[in-house]
Amino acid sequence: MAGRILWVLALTSLHPGVGRSEEAYVDLPVQRDEFGLPAIWASSLKGAVRAKAEGGLFDGPACVDASKAEDCAKVIAAFGPKPEAASEHSAAVSFLDAKLFAIPARSLKGVWLYVTSPLLFGFAKLYAEALGEGLNLPQLPPVAPGEVALSDKSYAVGDHAVINEIKLKVSSQQAPRLDIGPFKKVSQILGAQPGFAVVSDEDLPRIVRRSLMVQYRVRLKKETKTVEVGPWSEEYIPPFTAFVTGIHCNGRARTAVKVKVRSNDPNKFEEHTVQLKQFDPCEYVESKAKGPLWIGGKETVGKGLVEIL
């Protein structure tokens, strides 16, 4: 199965919301996977990448100009037609949910470090195998519930480590440092390699939950500066969180794509059939996805900036 493994590194806090309020401990929680861990659903990821690829090309359902018809055709071929024409054909590229791989956590010694577990490594291995991609991950040391393996003993306080205010016994085995995509980037940003902690799958959920941030907000009346709506709570994934995702290329690359183009009459469209030669949709989507990207809500207040690697 042809595809690409991609990494999502949070550069600011993220709020990939569920689109509604739920009966949860926060009013507006982030998206979660089947195990209750924070995730970015494939639909959110695809929408963000498509919006980036479409930038300056479309005005509503139509391509802005005949001179850009080929660029518009590539978007349609790779991501699928606009909703009103969705029955014409499917996308050539499928997105996978972005699964949590490692999350920053507070440490009593060393300020913070990454926390991961065998389950999170399993997500990455599963995606790599499904997509036919080689992924060189180190072997994790076995850890029992209540234990933690550290990449550096400087994070320990005696024979324990305190991570997100949870006291864990330090294992005699050492956690590996990860020298792959997102962590190389973090090392460049910080000027030093981050620390890593491996915990059991049993301890992981409560550590992850304590890493998530909850922000309370109100809406003020413009005239009086008194509360009009609220307070309500919003959940955020912290910066430097790393997710693993991927794209699957189904081999259904289209050579002829129908494109609606704006005509001189703003109420009418011209339909063009664009021939795409030697077009690789997987390579195209990968090139559009990589780099800075806005995902989820609250981007006008600095939330949701990630880098795809």
Distance CA 69, CA 90 (A): 19
Give the CA angle between residues 105, 151, 203 to the nearest 5°: 45
Q: Please give the average pLDDT of every successive group of 10 residues along the chain, which has 309 residues.
A: 90 86 75 95 95 88 85 88 70 93 97 97 94 90 97 95 98 92 94 96 98 83 68 90 94 77 76 84 92 88 92
Residues pairing with 112 in the sheet: 106
- The alpha carbon of residue 2 and the mean position of all alpha carbons in its chain are separated, in whole angstroms, by 21
Distance CA 63, CA 24 (A): 42
Identify the three-state secondary structure at position 265.
coil
pTM, entire model: 0.91
